[in-house]
């Protein structure tokens, strides 16, 4: 179904009274993508670092859902601040609606430019079937980020592979605006959340920024998901074996 705009689209970033983003801060965001690595990594960073919620994003196609977490109402698109690291986190609990993704990302990119962030980290997953060496990650930097690239010691994404979705669109917008940004991609399992891949992401961010985001919970979640996956495969295997007999 196509949507036709009958008025100017709405995209507002609402910050709490008195809060201002300090120029030179680091912006971090991860969307739901392969293995949900981007979202899992960003959301877990806000929790384990006790980041302060400082704002929200409001748009035309805002998802019609809210929930509760730690006895507080949570909204689809929230902004958090980690003072010790001068980090701003955007936590998208849903993907921007497909009908407004171009406009949504365009407005977000403009806001990033206005805030004068020193760098932008965009977190995501990469299909583990493409992994050929011992490296756990690949990266996709904008041209303006190249002078900062050495601190990560992460190989570039191989030619012929593609980044997709909102993360790809935001990287493209920031490249066109000459903003220093880097897409960080950890190898993940397709078809299910991959907290272990998110833990690899957080360990790298801990190392580079000298922060202490605990990854134990992500590793425990990964063990449980892997256990359930093995159980499912075992049940499916037993079902197929029983089909051989009448």
232 belongs to a structural domain = no
Percent of the chain with pLDDT over 70: 86
* Stated pTM of the model: 0.87
Per-residue pLDDT at 236:
57
**Could you tell me the CATH number of the domain that includes residue 200?**
3.40.50.10900
Q: 112-131, pLDDT tens digit by residue?
A: 999 999 999 999 999 998 88
6 belongs to a structural domain = no
Sign of the torsion formed by the C-alpha atoms of 233, 236, 240 and 245: positive
Question: Is the pLDDT reported for residue 49 higher than 90?
Answer: yes
Question: Is the pLDDT reported for residue 240 higher than 90?
Answer: no
240 belongs to a structural domain = no
Which alpha helices (H) appear in 49-149, and where do they start and end? 101-115
Per-residue pLDDT at 232:
52
Report the domain count for the chain.
1
Give residue 226's pLDDT band: very low, low, confident or very high (50, 70, 90): low
For 146, the domain range is 16-215
Q: 55-85, pLDDT tens digit by residue?
A: 999 999 998 999 898 899 999 999 999 999 9
Which alpha helices (H) appear in 19-64, and where do they start and end? 37-48
105 belongs to a structural domain = yes
- SS3 label, residue 119: strand
Residue 216 half-sphere exposure toward CB, CA atoms < 13 A = 3
235 belongs to a structural domain = no
Mean pLDDT (the chain, rounded):
87
2 belongs to a structural domain = no
45 belongs to a structural domain = yes
Per-residue pLDDT at 86:
95
For residue 64, what are the CA distances in angstroms to 33, 75, 125, 219? 20, 9, 26, 31
8 Å CB contact between 113 and 179: yes
The values of phi and psi at residue 229, to 5°, are -65, -40
Per-residue pLDDT at 154:
95
C-alpha span between 178 and 156 (Å, rounded): 19
136 belongs to a structural domain = yes
Q: For the chain, where are the E strands, in sequence order?
A: 11-15, 26-30, 52-59, 67-69, 72-74, 77-82, 87-92, 119-127, 137-141, 181-188
């Amino acid at each position: 179904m196509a949507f036709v705009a009958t008025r100017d689209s709405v995209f507002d970033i609402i910050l709490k009274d008195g809060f201002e983003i300090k120029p030179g801060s680091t912006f971090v965001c991860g969307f739901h993508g392969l293995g949900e690595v981007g979202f899992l990594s960003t959301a877990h960073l806000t929790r384990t670092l006790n980041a302060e919620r400082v704002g929200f994003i409001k748009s035309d196609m805002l998802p019609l859902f809210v929930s509760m977490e730690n006895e507080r109402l949570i909204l689809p698109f929230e902004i958090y601040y980690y003072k010790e690291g001068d980090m701003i986190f955007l936590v998208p609990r849903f993907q921007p609606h497909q009908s407004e993704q171009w406009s949504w990302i365009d407005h977000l990119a403009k806001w990033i430019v206005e805030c004068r962030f020193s760098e932008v980290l965009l977190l995501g997953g990469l299909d583990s079937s493409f992994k050929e060496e011992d490296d756990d990650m690949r990266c996709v930097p904008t041209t303006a980020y190249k002078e900062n690239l050495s601190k990560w010691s992460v190989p570039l994404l191989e030619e012929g592979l593609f980044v997709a979705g909102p993360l790809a669109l935001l990287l493209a917008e920031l490249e066109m605006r000459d903003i220093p940004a880097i897409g960080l991609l950890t190898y993940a399992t397709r078809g299910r959340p991959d907290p272990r891949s998110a833990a690899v992401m957080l360990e790298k961010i801990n190392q580079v920024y000298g922060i202490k985001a605990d990854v134990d919970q992500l590793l425990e979640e990964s063990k449980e998901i892997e256990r359930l996956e093995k159980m499912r495969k075992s049940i499916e295997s037993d079902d197929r074996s029983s089909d051989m007999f009448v």
